[in-house]
Structure 1
Amino acid sequence: MKDNVAEEHLYLDFSHQDRDGIFPLHTSISLFLLSYCDCKLFKVFLVPTSEDVDDQFVIKNLLCDLEVHLISRCQLPAVVQSCCLPAVVVKDGKFCRAGLSVVLRHIIQKTYEEDPSKTDVVELLGFKKTCLKACAEVSQWTRLCEISIPLAVAGFLKASPEHCQTIPPDILLLERKLGEPVRVHNDDKIRRQKLQQQKTGAKSAMPALGKEAREEGKTVEIQEHPLPSLELSIAFSKLLVQERSDVVNREASHIRRTKTSDLPPLDHIFAEGLYFTLADVVLLPCIHQFLASSKKQGKNLVNLPLISSWYQRVQEVPGVKRAAGKCNMKLLQLPQLMSAPKEQLQDLSSVSGELEEENQDSPFIGGPRPTMTKLMENGIGAKFSPHPCPNWTLDWSSLPSAVNPGEGKMSRDRALRKQQQLNNLVAVVTKLAKPGDVIVDFCSGGGHVGIVLAHMMPSCQVVLIENKELSLIHAKDRSDELGLNNIGFIQANLDYFNGTFNIGVALHACGVATDMVIEHCIKAQAAFVVSPCCYGFIQNTVKFKYPQSHQFKEILSYKEHMILCRFADQTAVQLPPERRLIGKQCMGIVDLDRAWAAEEHNYSVQVVSMEPESCSPKNNMLVGIPA
């Protein structure tokens, strides 16, 4: 490890170990990635989930070349104790990264920074380095890989033989997704090449490094053999770090004139399409455990031909077998399976679940007036409470420059509006807070709210939570400049934070994020001061169904509520005043539903307009206090 690089500690849950792997699966996945990357930059700690763990057995039998330490949960750094594992924290620091995808992406980035020659490692992050970057709360694909598949496999392994006769729905959903057409950058060109290959009957051979190649320091023989598809040729040419020779010559004129809609679709080679990515790394330990258990029980995998083919193909990726061996994963050799009958494949198409069906329904057509009239007929309309402290303001000229949002790249007008927004939130939080309180700034971005609160209230502890790494690093730099010692930083999706706190705050939490913040506050019985944003991004998710309150559910359908959400975004200053007024009313109605939903959990909630309203087109605040 380079001398100028701070040591980082990686904390992993540990429940048990068998001859096929380490559990829970998130830990198995993390260790597999460390082995695949040949990464020794982290000091690894296992956190037993029970007390009956044989320390010496674990340390000797885990990984032959990885130093592992055991630590009890009560010995974890305070910032880590507020998070679900896995988590990474700089030694003696307050900056924590938590959650499977965030931690795995960090391992990849640190490995590449340490050794830029490991291009195969950084390519795990996929096109524009976005693989599993979207949080599981809003991305169905991230949720499937990061949460649903590991949970489904864990449940399958724990179930008694008579209760695990059926394939888990999430495994079937993965099978279905592997059968969907691939969408990749520049796929039009590749699809034209595929069409020409089909027309000419051309067969391409796997790019070979002569008769032998070097992998992991050993000479291995690579047999040349025809590939069944253009997709395989492209995928493995990249894995073998070769420049792919043109599979076909320049497309014929009739190929170039073919409409895009008439081009053949691309087939999946790996989980996200043509290239081996972090998604494959996450899925492999899970699917391996599922297949190994199914094989022991003599189950027929005829319904999973695509998963079986994917599992075999992943084993051919350079480095996978070596990493699996280090993790005691005895990879299986499965017989080639024929595709399932059409009737069974049609059954798989219905596995997508209520969420996908509901959100892909017919578009939301029409204006908000019929819905608003329907609510008015039932005595419901936008209700705004008086601002609790309308004239309160910070003396920005007396504050250090690192506290002031205007010290960044903002224009003068935007910086003034940001100061006005902060005045509103800080005023309410200051009124609610007591010495010793823990205040969490959710969706903190660059830390505008949290840093002001930490500076203004040194007797309170402030925690910033944000899933964008660069924004949080910028916030920490500002905090370091100010010398704040009552502040902590967590890069994580909201679901991975489970700490206790007294007040939750969020400035312009986008779409469903507002409801996630309120949910966290209700679970912790904490007060909340939340300014919503991006109402048009609200949609049903696994956790949230709209409308939320009982009163609204009795009157409005999901579609009617979504129409209000779409028009709640019509508040930009460039729009005509009449439209902005309707947008403001829609904002108030959507937030009233949120307020009433929170009141069903014994909260007192007010919807307040920021002062002045011109500080932002999204100028609502929800202030909730537990009874």
Structure 2
Amino acid sequence: MKHTEALYLEVSCQNEEPCLPLHTSITLFLLSYCECKSFKVFLVFTKPESSQSLKSRLPEGLDVSHIQREDLPLLVRGCRLPAALDESGMLCKAGLAVVLRHIINNTLEADPSRKDVLALLGFKKTCLKACAEVSKWTRLCEIGIPSAVEEHLKDPTNQSEQLPLSILTLERRLPAPVKVHNDDKIRRQKLQEQRRNEKNESPAGNSNSESEPVQPPQVGDELELRAALAKLSVDSVPTATTRESCEIRKVKTPHLPLLQHVFAEGLYFTLTDVVLLPCIHQYLCSLQAHAVSLLHQIPHLLRWYSRVQEVPGVLRAAKACGIAFCTPQVPTSSAPGPSAESNPPSLLDQEEDQEKTKQPPFIGGPRPTMTKLKVKNYNLLLIPHQENGIEAIYAPHPCPGWTLPWDSLPEAINPTEAELDTSQTSSCVIIF
């Protein structure tokens, strides 16, 4: 096979032995899951070392070579690995999420029938599309959790009986109800299964009225898991459409049972789960060996870890990358972890609070940067100002008599009307 692109993956050193950083392990795991062989993979070493110890962690069939950091192409040398360089040597894609999405797109170009690979991109193909600088979720998955796990693995025996904030954030996200596109049908199927189970358990039936809210199920979320796995099936055959009973169709949408998280993004297995799996795997194995009492604090993460192993292709990809899934054993004698109320706020909550306190809501009037300018009839009469030896001289407005017919324009564009929230003010520009 002719390789059109080169993929550069970092190799680090621990105790004088080469090892794979999490970003490299994640990339190799995705290559194995997608069975993508369109890249020539270069393992980047910082000093001459033998890679024999890494052989068991490299998927078979990959074209793998070694390269020293000083021998990297100039364009790649200035990027944070992993990075993909096209055959022209003029286009470099760098950063974990960008490279992973690029691998998926290359796999689909080579084999458009890979429905399971396409599903990794999520709804409207937006999974981890926003960069870490603007998306808290991407930053948590791409940087926060891998960094926290690698920091833990440096000294796994030094435990303060407290979870890293990024791990705690993920644990708190998993039990939250989710909403997916056009989920009304799945929620009605879930309600129908609940009522069928209730009738089987109680022959007398259930007297709940259709107008009463339905309580969440107490026995797992088998329906959500079946729906998620069906979406990933490569050879899935459409099942016969069965319409819900009249009793179920009459239930209003707000009274339908909510869908529960099955995977990290919600109902379906996506690229986010691929990113998290090598990280959480190493973290859980370390806790099992050095701090088993902390497992009580992450029941939803343990459940997620078990679910992802049921996804077709995951066990195969893990075996090819030398990942041997463990079965964490939560000791029954230990006391359960602290409740969510006693834990510190999660990473996403903290960032939201910081953003709220960082900038007060804009309620109209000139921006702080305009406080030194005199505003009259919406025409700026600019006054020279000198500071630190720098003097700005402004010319008068060329047409100071211009005005706008505000009465005949929509109120939405009038700067004196209503009030803008923080998300609007950063992109709101009024041109006079």
TM-score, structure 2 normalization: 0.74
Q: Which amino acid aligns with 2:38?
A: L
Alignment of 1:182-331 (within 5 A): 182-201=178-197, 228-241=221-234, 242-243=236-237, 245=239, 249-253=243-247, 255-260=249-254, 262-300=255-293, 301-331=295-325
Cross-structure match for 1:569: 428
Name the amino acid aligned to 1:265: L
What letter is aligned with 2:49?
V
Report what 2:85 is aligned to: 89
Q: Aligned partners of 1:270 and 1:61: how far apart in 2?
A: 25
**Letter in structure 2 aligned against 1:147:** I
Q: Report the equivalent of 2:30.
A: 33
CA contact (8 A) 1:368 1:563 kept: no
Give the match's secondary structure for 1:161: coil
Partner of 1:448: none
Paired amino acid for 1:10: L
Q: Distance in 1 between matches of 2:383 and 2:184?
A: 51
Q: Secondary structure at the match of 2:10?
A: strand
State the Cα distance separating 1:142 from its structure 2 match: 0.9
Other-structure match for 2:413: none
Q: How many residues align?
A: 370
The 8 Å contact of residues 285 and 326 in structure 2, kept in 1 or not, is answered as yes
C-alpha separation in 1, matches of 2:276 and 2:194: 32
Compute the displacement of 1:45 (Å).
0.5
3-state SS in 1 of match to 2:65: strand
CA shift, 1:244, in A, is: 6.3
| 2:187–2:257 CA contact under 8 A, matched in 1 | yes
Distance change >3 Å, CA 243–CA 73, structure 1 → 2: same
The 3-state SS of whatever aligns with 1:32 is helix
Distance of 2:199 and 2:65 partners within structure 1: 52
Correspondence 1:121 to 2:117: yes
- 1:116 shift after superposition: 2.1
* Contact 1:238-1:244 at 8 Å conserved across structures: no
Identity among equivalent pairs (%): 46
CA contact (8 A) 1:196 1:255 kept: no
Change (3 A) 1:373 1:71: closer
Match of 1:77 in 2: 73
The answer to whether structure 1 residue 332 and structure 2 residue 296 are counterparts is no
- 1:354 paired with 2:347, answer no
- Match of residue 616 from structure 1: none
C-alpha deviation, 1:318, in angstroms: 1.2
Identify the residue that residue 47 of structure 1 maps to in structure 2: 44
Q: Secondary structure at the match of 1:201?
A: helix
For the aligned residue pairs, the C-alpha RMSD in angstroms reads 3.8
**Aligned pair in 2 of structure 1 residues 251, 279: CA closer, same or farther (>3 Å)?**
farther
Structure 2 gap segments, 5+ residues each: 201-218, 374-380, 385-391, 396-418
Does residue 8 in structure 1 map to residue 11 in structure 2? Answer: no
For the 8 Å contact 1:17–1:23, the answer to whether it is kept is: no
Counterpart AA for 1:350: P
Shift of 1:371: 7.1
Asked if 1 retains the 8 angstrom alpha-carbon contact of 2:5 and 2:39, the reply is: yes
CA distance in 2, matches of 1:170, 1:96: 30
Q: Which residue of 1 aligns with 2:339?
A: 344
Once residues 193 and 298 of structure 1 are traced to their aligned partners in structure 2, the CA distance between those partners, rounded to angstroms, is 41
Alpha-carbon distance between aligned partners in 2 of 1:291 and 1:74, rounded to the nearest angstrom: 36
Q: 1:14 to 1:252 in 2, by over 3 A?
A: same
Greater relative contact order (Cα 8 A, min sep 6): structure 1 or 2?
A: 2
Tell me the distance in 2 between the aligned counterparts of 1:382 and 1:342: 62
